[in-house]
Structure 1
Amino acid sequence: MQVGIINAGNIGLNLAVSWIRLGYDVMLSKDTHPEKLQERVHAIGLERGLNDNELSRFKYGSLVDAAKFGDVVILSAYFPRLGHVLGELHGAGVTFSGKIVIETINPVNVDANFNHYHDVEYMRRTSVTEEIQKAFPEAILFKAFNNIPATLLDPHKWTPDRVPAVIFVGGNPGSTDTARKLIKDAGFRPQFAGPDLKHAGLLESLGLLFHHLVENEHHGNLNISFDVIKPKV
């Protein structure tokens, strides 16, 4: 499978490492400071135990190159830069027609002091997913990987009997299995919440709830994740 990652930051790079190990063809791109991307890949690859052959298999390109390369595209733009990224793709004639696009974005802004906060007014009006679908109506769009901290998107941090869930929404009947496989191959348990993209805002609200939990219960410690569990039969 060919995967193009638009803006390979913390989320995209962690996913890319898992997928490259399984033989995926992966092209990475970066919205800002793309010249530093290969150095960052080398560092995280060594940290995650990739060998030289695996590291050499990563491909690099522009945001547009990654959009065109992937059978599946991961769209992981920084929310304050989302408009710029979508504009650049549009300007190059990208439509994502018939392609599976998985977006991972929470509506988190940053103030002048570099404090991050959820854009609650934006969340009341719409969701990132719905806005991306408006911009690219021909895309087969999913939301996933936004309900777990990027630092925990390393399956080696979890025991085999305690792998957290990744909740996803969107797509169509012909694409759900592919999204499910990508989540499983990343090392997590897929949990499908339905195809209606209007429900993507619920996942974004889950991100807001997560930050309230981190602040009030876990004293700023981001080393937690939501899960979906069943009782013992």
Structure 2
Amino acid sequence: MRIGVVNAGNIGRALARAWLAAGHDVMVAKDGGQQKLDAFVAENPGAVPGTPAQAAEFGDVVLFSVYWPRLDAVLDAVGPQAGGPAGGLAGKVVIDTMNPLQVSGDFEHSYDAAFMARTSTSEELQRRLPAARVVKAFNTVPSTLLDARRWPAPEPAPPVLLAGDDASAKAQVRTLAGDAGFTALDAGPLTSARNIEQLNVLVHLLADHQFEGALDRLAPAVLVAAGVPTPAQG
């Protein structure tokens, strides 16, 4: 499968690495921080570097792993590939890993509660890309844990939660989750992305108050609370 990663940040690079290992063709693009992209390509020779517009055009599936306050800028960089029924993303599966963060003048981050009360990043992305098939996924697992090697068999990795209105698109994302070493759970239509994003608020609250902000320790703890076995910590 051809996969375009529109913003190879921490999540994008983790998934790109896994999908390359699974035999997929991957083009990676970066919204700023080109040194990190260059280093990733050097460490992963199968990865093809490109611009956001090229990655959007390249992929049969396109990963939108974008810092939410930068969405407008990234969509502008993607350009005509994003817009309208005739755009390069028309008919493509677009995976949304984003969370609705807002940033203060002091660069403090918080979830945009007013936004979350009425919609989700996935619904907004679908509105902006009306001809694409948007699927919410990969936004509740910390990027450092989106590496199946952190979850050695027979212990289960945390599940990837999916939401989307197109069943075949969700099936493709489920396959890609499996290729990355994770199972996927279907939460229903795209509006369920609101619930998934709210869950991520809870994840961060638990990390902040119970684990001093250590998200790496949080995911196993949540699974223990749910009665699910977790990998050995080391």
Give TM class, smaller chain: 0.7 to 0.9
In structure 2, do the counterparts of structure 1 residues 154 and 29 end up closer, same or farther at CA, with 3 Å as the change threshold? Answer: same
Between the aligned partners of 1:69 and 1:97, the Cα distance in structure 2 is 12
Give the TM-score taking structure 2 as reference length: 0.87
Count of matched residue pairs: 220
Query: Which residue is 1:26 aligned to?
Result: 26
Worse-matched range after superposition: 178-187 or 30-39: 30-39
CA 1:22–1:217 in 2, change beyond 3 Å: closer, same or farther?
same
The equivalent of 2:10 in structure 1 is 10
Partner of 1:209: 202
1:132 aligns with 2:121: no
Contact 2:100–2:115 (CA<8 Å) still a contact in 1? yes
The 3-state SS of whatever aligns with 1:174 is: helix
**Which residue in 2 is equivalent to 1:192?**
186
The structure with higher relative contact order (CA 8 Å, sep 6+) is 1
**SS of residue matched to 1:125:** coil
Which amino acid in 2 is paired with 1:210? V
Q: Identity over the aligned pairs, expressed in percent?
A: 39
Match of 1:39 in 2: 39
1:40 deviation in Å?
3.9
Distance 1:166 1:231, change over 3 A: closer
Distance 1:145 1:4 in 2: 16
Q: Larger deviation: 32-41 or 222-231?
A: 222-231
Q: State the Cα distance separating 1:33 from its structure 2 match.
A: 3.1
Shift of 1:181: 0.6
Corresponding position: 1:144 with 2:137:
yes
Query: Are positions 1:117 and 2:110 aligned together?
Result: yes
- 2:152 is aligned with 1:163: no
Distance in 2, Cα, partners of 1:25 & 1:169? 25
1:34–1:162: structure 2 CA closer, same or farther, 3 Å change rule? same
Shift of residue 21 of structure 1?
A: 0.8
Does the aligned pair in 2 maintain the 1:13–1:41 contact within 8 Å?
no
- Does residue 64 of structure 1 match 2:53? yes
Once residues 73 and 92 of structure 1 are traced to their aligned partners in structure 2, the CA distance between those partners, rounded to angstroms, is 11
How far is 1:162 from its partner?
Answer: 2.4
**Cα distance in 2 between the residues matched to 1:93 and 1:177:** 23
Check conservation: 2:30, 2:52, Cα contact below 8 A: yes
8 A Cα contact 2:22 2:180, kept in partner: no
Local SS of the residue matching 2:117: helix
Aligned position for 1:178: 172
Q: In structure 2, what is the equivalent of residue 88 of structure 1?
A: 77
Partners of 1:39 and 1:92 in 2: how far apart? 26
Of 168-177 and 18-27, more deviation after overlay is shown by: 168-177
> Deviations along 1:189-214, whole A, 9 cap, x unmatched?
111111x2111111111111111111
Q: Does 1:106 align with 2:99?
A: yes
C-alpha displacement of 1:230: 7.7
Match of 2:211 among 209, 213, 218: 218
Shift in Å, 1:136: 0.8
Once the two structures are overlaid, the 10-residue window that deviates more, 9-18 or 167-176, is 167-176
Measured after TM superposition, the shift of residue 91 of structure 1 is: 4.3
The change in CA–CA distance for 1:2 and 1:115 in structure 2 (over 3 A counts) is same
Residue 77, structure 1, aligned to residue 70, structure 2: no
Say whether the 8 Å CA contact 1:106–1:204 is kept in structure 2. yes
Counterpart-to-counterpart distance in 2, 1:123 and 1:148? 19
Give the SS at the match of 2:214.
coil
Structure 1 unaligned residues grouped into runs of 5+: 46-54
